[in-house]
Structure 1
């Protein structure tokens, strides 16, 4: 086998299938003589090719283990664990939040979990119980029903009542909702790691 394979000063060098097969054939000729039949159809030739293929898989695994220790080459959970060393974690998807103004019958109660919908079909849910004031309005915090950037809607985009409530005449969001995001991508995580 080649001394330059594996962990070297230049990093990890993985042999190709062809290089492995060549090395195995050289060793077979050393052991059995230069006239040994190593053709594709010979028993020894078939065995060497199968062995080279499995050895190649092991070398690939070894390379993946080596690469999992570096931010630029690690993937998946290995990359997330590297972030844990410096105290950062992959950002999960988040739900957008904001305030909802409810207009309706003074003194009527609106319970937490009241559903409304924006023009882009994104649903929002109230987070607290509220009572409509004497002026016929009340403001209550809301959160998107599902996580993701689609929950970030413009001011006035929420205008549909989903949960029927006779005392409620209309709903709107005076300001845009914000904070909704998809799960952080691995590339975003790498950039944040370096920052």
Structure 2
């Protein structure tokens, strides 16, 4: 058997291969009757040697695999993906709104800190003055990641004392925090980017927009005719996006669009090019199709105490939206239908679910059709499990 690098790739020697070869050579040198059992001095030496050599073969294989997106991992994968200008998404910070109660006129300085019972701390992004006993202010988590999300009414600790401030809470979940993009997520996005090749195609523009922090789904529809189609001017394209900051989205569209082709849409962002010229870039927000879901299940003894929460989270993760803990799931992409049988299967995956007796989407049992410019969404308040 051929080991090492060949036209068929790289094949490493495993421990069993190395030991077999070492044992064969030992018998060639010392005779066929030499004892190589695990408890003998020769056997111990052979096994130590074989283990060390097998590790070297493993590291050599890892080095070979580091040049391939679907075999490399971690920082090595990040470097390989950058060859296609695909950057790993960093961890993102959760943000939301706190409601302050206290004496009218009380000023809460920008940078004031508040936290939940788990020790997750949030910084006030703007100066707030309490009006008529209560007012709101935007906060951002100090640390990025999914753990920076907080369910409603959990951020109640005042870490920066302010005279006249009595209470604080978040009436809605603080959301948007997510962990650094995993290797699997990066590989999937890399594969989508291969269709772009750096060119101003619809796939290329979509791949660029999907790389923007906070963007959960995107689609690009072009009009290649010399007439207006569905409100799109001749020779133009329209990008529909869910999530992300408008300026960041516009910059990626500008970077990938072809010169002379109009970027059409409802939102306008002016981008300055290298020559100092102002280029109007437009795009539209994807229409969200909100789904109210009711599911009735029969359970057995394996069903956990938090089973209803697990069912609800599984549904939200499939469709997309905000869970009670503030985690935002990407879910289905723009234009993807909600498949009824798929939802039934997902609910059945929760331990202890014996049967799904009924499941309705906006009061109906069956698939939900989603147009090309739409995206299905739901949240923890819209999913009722019983």
Same fold (TM over 0.5): yes
Q: Alpha-carbon deviations, 1:82-136, whole Å to 9, x = none?
A: 1211222333332210122222222222112222233555332212222233x33
Structure 2 unpaired stretches of 5+:
37-41, 193-386
- Tell me the distance in 1 between the aligned counterparts of 2:128 and 2:81: 42
Secondary structure, counterpart of 1:78 in structure 2: helix
Instruction: Tell me the residue number matched to 1:115.
Output: 113
Instruction: Tell me the residue number matched to 2:189.
Output: 192
Instruction: Tell me the residue number matched to 1:161.
Output: 158
Q: Alpha-carbon deviations, 1:36-90, whole Å to 9, x = none?
A: 647468xxx89x9587666544433321211111222212221111121122233
Instruction: Tell me the residue number matched to 2:238.
Output: none
Equivalent pair of 2:95/2:176 in contact (CA under 8 Å):
yes
Q: Alpha-carbon deviations, 1:6-50, whole Å to 9, x = none?
A: 222332112345545666788899xxxx78647468xxx89x958
Instruction: Tell me the residue number matched to 2:87.
Output: 89
Instruction: Tell me the residue number matched to 2:208.
Output: none
- Tell me the distance in 1 between the aligned counterparts of 2:73 and 2:20: 32
Secondary structure, counterpart of 1:193 in structure 2: helix
Instruction: Tell me the residue number matched to 1:68.
Output: 66
Q: Which has the higher mean CA deviation after the structures are superposed, 152-161 or 16-25?
A: 16-25
Q: Which of 1 and 2 has greater Rg?
A: 1
Q: Which has the higher mean CA deviation after the structures are superposed, 82-91 or 11-20?
A: 11-20
- Tell me the distance in 2 between the aligned counterparts of 1:17 and 1:174: 59
Secondary structure, counterpart of 1:192 in structure 2: helix
Structure 1 unpaired stretches of 5+:
none
Aligned residues: 184
TM-score, normalisation: structure 1: 0.71
Q: Counterparts in 2 of 1:19-168, with a 5 A limit?
A: 19=17, 37=31, 39=34, 56-118=54-116, 120-133=118-131, 135-168=132-165
- CA 1:11 to 1:103, structure 2 compared with 1: closer, same or farther past 3 Å? same
- Tell me the distance in 2 between the aligned counterparts of 1:73 and 1:136: 58
Instruction: Tell me the residue number matched to 1:14.
Output: 12
Specify which structure has the higher proportion of helix.
Answer: 1
- Tell me the distance in 1 between the aligned counterparts of 2:189 and 2:118: 31
Instruction: Tell me the residue number matched to 1:183.
Output: 180
- CA 1:28 to 1:152, structure 2 compared with 1: closer, same or farther past 3 Å? closer
Equivalent pair of 2:106/2:163 in contact (CA under 8 Å):
no
- RMSD over aligned Cα, in angstroms? 3.4
TM-score, normalisation: structure 2: 0.40
- CA 1:121 to 1:19, structure 2 compared with 1: closer, same or farther past 3 Å? closer
Higher relative contact order (CA 8 A, sep 6+): 1
Instruction: Tell me the residue number matched to 2:372.
Output: none
Secondary structure, counterpart of 1:160 in structure 2: strand
- CA 1:153 to 1:53, structure 2 compared with 1: closer, same or farther past 3 Å? closer
- Tell me the distance in 1 between the aligned counterparts of 2:23 and 2:101: 84
